[in-house]
A and B are shown apart, each in its own frame.
Chain A
Amino acid sequence: MTSAALVHVVVSGLATGSIYALVALSLVIVYNATRTLNFAQGEMLMVSTFAGFTVYAHVKLPLVVVMLIAVAAAALLGWVIERVIIRHAIAATHFDVLIITLGLSLVLRSAAGLAWTHDEFPFPSFFGTRPIVLGPVRVAPVSLGIIGASLALMLGLWALFTGTRLGRAMRAVAQNQRAARLVGISVERVYAASWILASVVGAIAGVLIAPVVFLSSQMGLVAINGFIAAVLGGFGSMPGAVVGGMLLGVIENLAPLYLPSSIKHSVPFLVLIAILLVRPGGMLGRVARRKV
């Protein structure tokens, strides 16, 4: 294994990891606001990507426009799901809302299969296919593009959460809902904003990864690795989600070099068990203490 080839593997691992990180972020955004794990995140991502693709298939618009359409569809989807379904269960336990999102994921995947069939579709890519050569190192432009776009999005999220009123309100709700309400924050509005934001982040991840994995109704399964990434980093921590995603992507890509290749699909779960044994709260997380 030459070091140049190693760089190639690590870079493509970082690209996959960026996608996991984005999906992990969207899970964490909803979790922080509502304390619910959104089982339907992967399917929401898939439906939004399909929405962009449908427009592209009819009118050959520039890809930036396609992405904007996917983002708009995602925002609408997130808003509708929050208003029509989740809001009605606002008094229910987290377990109940978990079951609702599980049902949603079944409904969305099945509906996508009915609307677009269960086939795989090639999705256009922003980036060329000619490898970029830097001395002895060759990397795929799509890897660099995914990493760059994801980092830009993460920076944007960071700016949103630290610099804007909405972001500060979302962080306040994450810390203490009652206290947030007392200082005049509309918790309901934060719920809706969180669902919309999470859905949009997911849709961008979807548009970025669709050219690599093909677009299909099964694409939502990427959320499983996103979930593992979020747990690795410490569920609820946004920097943790990013670190966990990157780490998972790199390890998953490196493992087949040193271990039997059939192990690739088990790697995320093995990494998860290993990290949780050493640090039960994840890498950047704390073990939550529950009071009576």
Chain B
Amino acid sequence: MRLLALAIGAAGLLLWPWAAPRYFVFLASLIVVNAIVAIGLNLLSGYTNQLSFGHAGFLAVGAYTAAIVATRSPGAPVVVATLAFGFVVVEAILNLDGLTRGNDGLRVPAARLGPWALATDTARYYLVLVVGAVMMWAAGNLARTRTGRALLALRESEVAAQASGIHVARYKTLAFAISALYTGVAGGLFAFVVGFLSPDAFDVFLSVDFVAMIILGGLGSVPGSVAGAAVLTVLNDSLAGFQNYRPLIFGAILIASMLFMPGGIASAVRRLRTRWAGHPPMAPDSRRGLE
């Protein structure tokens, strides 16, 4: 039953570019990119209860890194472009304006994967989809590793975790690093999907959008992150003509999710599922369980 649903979902995602108009293929790519950021942010907030209003910054670093690598060495495979973080950050600090063209913005050349140039929306969609699926799978499995269990213990009680030999500072730093890695990779993909970068796209309000995605989706839930990212990306896109109302609606969503749907979409779905199965409703304190 579960496998069947997964197979139908996967087939739907793979066939999407043939069923939908070009713009919706682009939008789907954007959803996946945002979902990767949301998963990354959720690894931080869901595990350590820390908020970050700086994730737009990591996204910017990742995006500019990818764009610059692709511009400088046009033959470089996209993997290099998305993962080549550190050295470009150093170079960027040394030589900022020449690299990023400041406020004029930066046009991103097409990504290359071996012999293929990913020049169409469909090609970029598949690239983003594959990377997104791998990262989602990795995040889902994290809870089953030693590190993941340490993070879970940390979330339940810092003091108790410390008492059982978990180095709190080290694991919190690790959670932040993994979170930043996810966001950086998403930034690289963002650069290729959008094709044009300028600094004002990465303001603090973008960081707030990411926070809204994981709150709506459900803290600590990987599928929830994806759902939150999907809903808010589509909403954001349909509100393009009503920029003034956007923060109003996003703020109202934050308040409403906390008041009426604590635990977000993820726990609402879980509650519905137990009700259909005929079980009594679960205890309220287990609402932040990780799946």
Residues of chain A whose beta carbon lies under 8 Å from any beta carbon of chain B: 85, 88-89, 92, 95-100, 102-111, 113-114, 290-292
Contacts and interface: CB of A to CB of B under 8 A. Distances in A.
Interface in B129-165: 157-160, 163
A107 B244 contact: no
Contacts of A104: 251, 255
Contact of A98 (B51, B163, B246, B251): B51
Nearest to B45: A95
B211 A102 contact: yes
B254 A95 contact: no
A224 B178 CA distance: 28
Given A102-B208, A103-B255, A110 B159 contact: no
Given A85-B255, A292-B160, A99 B215 contact: yes
A106 B253 CA distance: 10
A237 B248 CA distance: 33
A108 B248 CA distance: 8
Main secondary structure, interface of B, reads helix
Main secondary structure, interface of A, reads helix
Contacts of B163: 292
Contacts, number: 66
A103 B159 contact: no
Nearest to B49: A95
B241 to A, nearest CB: 15
B21 to A, nearest CB: 31
Interface residues of B, number: 24
Interface in B3-60: 49, 51
The 9 closest A-B pairs by CB, nearest first: A103-B254, A106-B251, A107-B251, A110-B248, A110-B247, A103-B255, A103-B251, A106-B247, A292-B159
Contacts of B246: 110
A106 B208 contact: yes
A185 to B, nearest CB: 26
A113 B243 CA distance: 11
Interface string B235-276: 000000000111110111111001100100000000000000
A114 B244 CA distance: 7
Contact of B248 (A92, A95, A98, A111): A111
A110 B258 contact: no
